[in-house]
Structure 1
Amino acid sequence: MARPSKAPERRAELIEVAGRAVLERGVLNLRLRDIAEGAGLSSGSVLYYFPTLADLLQEVQREAVARFCSARERAANAKTAPGERLLSMIRSGLPTGPGDELCVLLYELGTIARRDPVYAARHITLYEQQVRIYTGILEAGAATGEFVLTTDAVSIARNLVALEDGYGLHLTQAVPTLETATAEAMLLSYARTATTNPLEERS
């Protein structure tokens, strides 16, 4: 009887090692050798599982996008009232600072999206998935009368994600230009205006 292939485990290990290497070196300075050394393999062995470094980094990006979006959906779905779901969604989207590894990884990989359409497509997917979650919450709040939206739900959702992205870049710099609490307060200020709702925690 043939032994089960260990390729899936090895591929998962290489994706994890590559993610750590991106965080340590930055995506633009990353070499295949860095990943091979981190995994205790030769560069040729890495290429056995991923034909190119770009292929490996695409998997790193795919996994990071999935983790980030899943975490945001879980945060929103942990609440039932639209206002509380919106609060949870906002609080789950901002980096905690330069040490927030998942957010830093996504921003690092996002730099390639300016030149590579494959990375760009997944970056767009990340944006659209977040817009979709926000839109669902906003439409639910409008349907129940909890929100009185000042414009259509999709436009508000897109603005919220764009604000998160912009503030996130400032929060993950080597020297952050603002604190997470400040960025969250500014996002909440916009959300309160856009939904005509105070967005306060329920006791």
Structure 2
Amino acid sequence: MTTSVREDARRVAILDAAAELIAERGYHSVRVQDIAKALGTSTGSVHYYFPGKGDVLAAALRHAVDRTFDRQSSELRAIDDAHQRLLKLIEMQLPRLGPVRDEWSIWMQFWAEATIRPELRPLHNTYYARWRETVVRIVKRGQRQGTFRSTVDSEIVAHRLTAMTDGLAIQVLTGAPGVTVSVMRELLIQFVHDELVSAPGGNSPLR
């Protein structure tokens, strides 16, 4: 293994550890010492790659979100049918206990940081545009396949579906009464059916 490969692997390990700690403890509760301890190394090793705490934590946010997008894109590409692809995307967004819930925790903290740190907003907005564009592409694919209604505006549907997903996930994660992962799934699937699959003015599917 070359030095550059080892250093890349070490950098990724630091970002993975930092992201896990952010999900578990919160952005501002993570110290460089905590990251070093999780890796069984020294703070100097962390600072070798990242000058300060803010550098490593901001990089960890980006790393975690990029990893989430890459995983989702890989799984979605394997599904040809647009309706099933959109249902799969919904399923992957449900904040169950485990890695996806951690990803949501990190994403919510990215929102919070972008609210008070203007320098993070361009990156945040790029990620959000990518999230919406994923939905837009699936809707247009469904329209080409004859699975979704041709009369709907894909951009409007994407804005509404992403907003619903985010709003429901926040309620699940904060323990809002009556809003569970199952409820979130049912509401989002019903939205897809009503907006994209059912015939206008009725509940019967297009096919």
TM-score (norm 1): 0.84
Inter-partner Cα distance in structure 2 for 1:107 and 1:165: 9
> Equivalent residues in 2 for 1:80-91 (5 A)?
80-91=80-91
The root-mean-square deviation of aligned C-alpha atoms, in Å, is 2.6
> Equivalent pairs: percent with the same residue?
25
| Correspondence 1:192 to 2:193 | yes
Q: Is the 8 A contact 2:23 2:103 kept in 1?
A: no
Task: Give per-residue Cα distances to partners, 1:88-137, cap 9 Å, x unaligned.
Answer: 12212221148722222222333211122343333222221121111111
The Cα shift of 1:154 comes to 0.9
Secondary structure at the counterpart of residue 95 of structure 2: coil
Structure 2 runs not aligned, ≥5 long: none
Q: Is the 8 A contact 1:98 1:171 kept in 2?
A: no
Partner of 2:169: 168
Aligned-partner Cα distance in 2 for 1:46–1:33 = 9
**Distance in 1 separating the partners of 2:113 and 2:204:** 37
Whole-Å Cα distance in 1 between the matches of residues 204 and 124 of structure 2?
29
Q: Could you tell me which amino acid in structure 1 is paired with residue 156 of structure 2?
A: S
What is residue 49 of structure 2 aligned with on the other side? 49
Label 1:12 to 1:71 Cα distance change in 2 as closer, same or farther (>3 A): closer
User: Is residue 65 of structure 1 aligned with residue 70 of structure 2?
Assistant: no
Q: Would the aligned equivalents of 1:167 and 1:183 in 2 still touch at CA under 8 Å? A: yes
| CA distance in structure 2 between the aligned counterparts of 1:69 and 1:144, rounded to whole angstroms | 24
1:15-72 Cα distance to aligned partner (Å, 9 max, x none): 1221122123211222222223323334343222101222212221222112221232
Contact kept, 8 Å, 1:22 with 1:30, in 2: the verdict is: yes
1:28-177 correspondence to structure 2 within 5 Å: 28-97=28-97, 100-148=101-149, 151-173=152-174, 175=175, 177=177
SS at match of 2:74: helix
Map 1:4-43 to 2 at 5 A: 4-5=3-4, 6-43=6-43
Point out where structure 1 has 5 or more consecutive residues left out of the alignment: none
Count of residue correspondences: 198
Runs of 4+ with >6 A deviation: none
- Mapped to 2, the partners of 1:86 and 1:45 lie a distance apart of 42
Q: Equivalent residue for 2:181? A: 180
Offset at residue 150 of structure 1 (A): 5.6
Rounded to whole Å, the distance in 2 between the matches of 1:116 and 1:199 is 47
Give the direction of change, closer, same or farther, for the CA distance of 1:72–1:98 in structure 2 (3 Å limit).
closer
**Whole-angstrom CA distance in 2 between matches of 1:12 and 1:128:** 25
Distance 1:148 1:39 in 2: 51
CA displacement at 1:166 relative to structure 2 = 1.0
